Structure 1
């Protein structure tokens, strides 16, 4: 009997919990910065973000998401270096309503990156790659415009910092501008 009461209580709580959830999908312009031997190279690519969040109240939420950060690639003569970062993150999001339809937000969290880095040397017919895992802080700011009570258009800037580095001081940094849609339930 206790299990039936517990199950009924859990099922009754699901709709209330679902009212505070949201999903976000965005397209991003990702900026990569590669630093090798005191030389910095920047490159841009297109990325995609997807996130799931839970609002505790209109001002505070927690969010978990996936960031596909495109590919960094630079070539000189017959030599190419590349990096392909992807990240999962968790963050706390603070929201400041400016008007009933427009709000500003900030997020702080932790991201776990997995980056495939490598090179291709066509002159010597040589290539190598490795996967690097790194954890870093995530910071973001954004704005949202509520189109309907459940749909908002969002724009964000997110700074990930170093998504890969090695023992020699070489590193890949990433940041992104993104725009998309947030659907609340």
Structure 2
């Protein structure tokens, strides 16, 4: 019995070292957000992202996010407006203690606004620099949470909470 226990302990110790040696580099995740555009109400959104960590301090990430999906009414007129973001950014991360890290984001994003009013529709695109700062926490080597503030354009601020799964 003691030999089996010793063998199982040795096997477990060897396996845990292999898993802890290098964190996975490909990751994917989802987020929920609140976006405030100048002169408009704050609106909820959601998104998905895919990234690659080159090391503990540097990653590249792309994503799609619905920043707003709003309906406005003025008398008999009704307008439906959506705001979408497609982005690609580099992320620099600074590890702190106990699984925490702070990070900065710098990249490109394409915002698309769609509006439907009284049967007429319009679409507008805007290309901008995307930047943001955030705080992350690794629950495990595979599950990572984040809180972030982003500026997708000069008149918009996005606050988000997300979770990433590392492969």
- Alignment of 1:26 onto 2:31: yes
Runs of 4+ in 1 over 4 A off after TM superposition: none
Matched residues, number: 145
**What root-mean-square deviation, in Å, do the aligned CA atoms of Structure 1 and Structure 2 show?**
1.9
Report 1:27-176 matches (<5 A). 27-33=32-38, 41-120=39-118, 127-161=119-153, 173-176=155-158
Q: Is 1:183–2:133 an aligned residue pair?
A: no
- CA deviation profile, 1:118-149 (whole Å, cap 9, x unmatched): 434xxxxxx42211122111111111111111
- In 1: Cα distance, 2:24 partner to 2:69 partner: 37
Distance 2:147 2:105 in 1: 13
Structure 2 length normalisation: TM-score?
Answer: 0.78
Moved more, 141-150 or 69-78: 69-78
Q: What SS does structure 1 have at the residue aligned with 2:68?
A: coil
Q: Is the 8 A contact 1:79 1:119 kept in 2?
A: yes
TM-score between both structures, scaled by the size of structure 1: 0.71
Whether contact under 8 Å (1:61, 1:92) holds in the other structure is yes
Shift of 1:63: 0.5
Q: Counterparts of 1:73 and 1:139 in 2: how far apart (Å)?
A: 28
Please tell me whether the aligned partners of residues 156 and 178 of structure 1 are also in contact (alpha carbons under 8 angstroms): yes
Rounded Cα–Cα distance in structure 1 between residues aligned with 2:130 and 2:80:
23
Any unmatched runs of 5+ in structure 1? Answer: 1-17, 34-40, 121-126, 163-172
